[in-house]
Amino acid sequence: MKKLFFIFLAFIGVFLFTSCEKFLTVTPKTEMPKDKLFSTEGGFKDALTGLYIQMNSSDAYGAAMTQTTVEQLIGSWDVVSGSTPQRIGLYNFADEGVLNSFETVYGKLYSIIASANSILEHIDANKAVFTNEELYRTIKSECLAIRAYCHLDIIRLFGPVPTAPEEGNKFPYVTTVSKVPNAGISFDSYKQLLLKDLSDAENLVKDVDPILKYSLTQLKNPGISSGYNPVDTYMAYRGIRMNYFAIKGLQARAYMWFNEPEKAYESAKLVIDAKNEDGTTKFRLGSAADFSTAGDFVLTNEHLFGLYDFSMYNRYASTYAMGTIKKGTSATIITNQLYGNTGTDIREANLWELIVLPNQAKCYIIKKYKVAQSPSSIAVDYKQIPMLRLSEMYMIASEAAPLSEAQNYWTTFKQSRNIATTTLPSDLEARKFEILKEFRKEFYAEGQSYFAYKRLNAPKANVLFSPASAKLTYLFPMPRTESINSY
């Protein structure tokens, strides 16, 4: 059965280059062969696979929303003078390259939403093609969750600061495929639609998702020997899909953005407390051994949802390993400024390395996405871009829980990173900014730190590595394409 997983991944790679445009392009100029695609159960499966492939585009979560464009907003990487990445870090929205970069991201996110909507548009009417209720529910749930995931990032990136929702752009929350432009709606209306999608997605799978019953190890190894032997292995490998716990994690993230901390804590706690049937934890915080022994630099055991990146080895080799994406030439930048020179932090000790470039120049690169080209087994295949992690749930709980409970979560998290435990401030605002410092270390090269700064409307002094000449802003101009695109 292990071979099936690699066949599935190979299929993703082939599908990426041969089928995604055919099946999932939804623009005013082209239309997918919907009647044919959605006339079979297999067609729905293919369409959902294509949806994840779209998410892995370099213009979306394969790079721009995780490792490049959004990270450039907070000075995560060294940049070339006069380049677009430099101007992004300076928030120069008068620059054509900067505008194009964000408009490309904006268009891609709505394109993913359009593809999710195309599946949702047909799934109820064609429910009879499904051989079982569980598969129908799962595919519908994942589409709703992905739609919510992308809409949340649109409002987080291009919308207002949550504490001042009336000061900023208004965007459509798109739930249908149409060539008619959708009107922007209020922040509150957008919130309600997004949370409804997540609630609907949760209700669809809360009784049927295999991840509720089986461990991640079992789900990655479907077969008689693992104890999970489904008739259809499409229901396996839940860690690289928007599963039930990923939905709860996204709820926690969304509730924090919409300033509903009590509900955020409730969702985060459910994920943290999740157990397998044998009583072991469903997800566990990473350890030094994951880095140094397993070589799992992206900590897949923490992933509530990790986007499988078939080309991660090549992406790493052509960017990080070549010094194209780098930070600093001395230990002062990373060891001292980022981690505080603890001498114990497992990230400080294992996640960065000094390399020598062909011109003999030296620079530091992050090893988070360093993976084996051809892993020997599923168990050591770590080609996953983190989309939702357990550590974020601990951060949310540390901020949103009552102080005594929050302190326990904070202590557990810091112990997992092998750093000194500290007492959280009793003042909530001070607590938020104390956690923010750790957030920057934890989610480097994952695209989440900028949103943490924006949610708190953090002043520039708190934004580590922001250039001195940068004019920090959390309010972006309305993408010029908004007035002409349909979704």
Model confidence at 53: pLDDT above 60: yes
pLDDT at 33: 65
Provide CB contacts within 8 A for 31, sequence distance 6+: none
Provide CB contacts within 8 A for 400, sequence distance 6+: 256, 261, 262, 264, 265, 268, 406
Proportion of the chain above pLDDT 90, given as a percent: 88
Q: Name which residue leads in pLDDT, 9 or 482.
A: 482
Give the start-to-end residue ranges of the domains of the chain. 14-208+457-487
Lowest model confidence (mean pLDDT) among 11-15, 25-29, 188-192: 25-29
Lowest model confidence (mean pLDDT) among 99-108, 294-303, 328-337, 457-466: 328-337
Model pLDDT for residues 191-250, shown as the tens digit of each residue: 999 999 999 999 999 999 999 999 999 999 999 999 999 988 999 999 999 999 999 999
In one letter, which amino acid is 198?
L
Model pLDDT for residues 414-424, shown as the tens digit of each residue: 999 999 999 99
Model pLDDT for residues 178-201, shown as the tens digit of each residue: 888 889 999 999 999 999 999 999
Model pLDDT for residues 446-475, shown as the tens digit of each residue: 999 999 999 999 999 999 999 999 999 999
Provide the 10 A C-beta neighbour count for residue 450.
21
Domain 14-208+457-487 belongs in CATH node 1.25.40.390 = yes
Task: Give 267's pLDDT tier (boundaries 50, 70, 90).
Answer: very high
Cβ pair 483, 176 in contact under 8 A: no
Task: Give 25's pLDDT tier (boundaries 50, 70, 90).
Answer: very low
Cβ pair 134, 41 in contact under 8 A: no
Model confidence at 487: pLDDT above 70: no
Q: Name which residue leads in pLDDT, 13 or 171.
A: 171
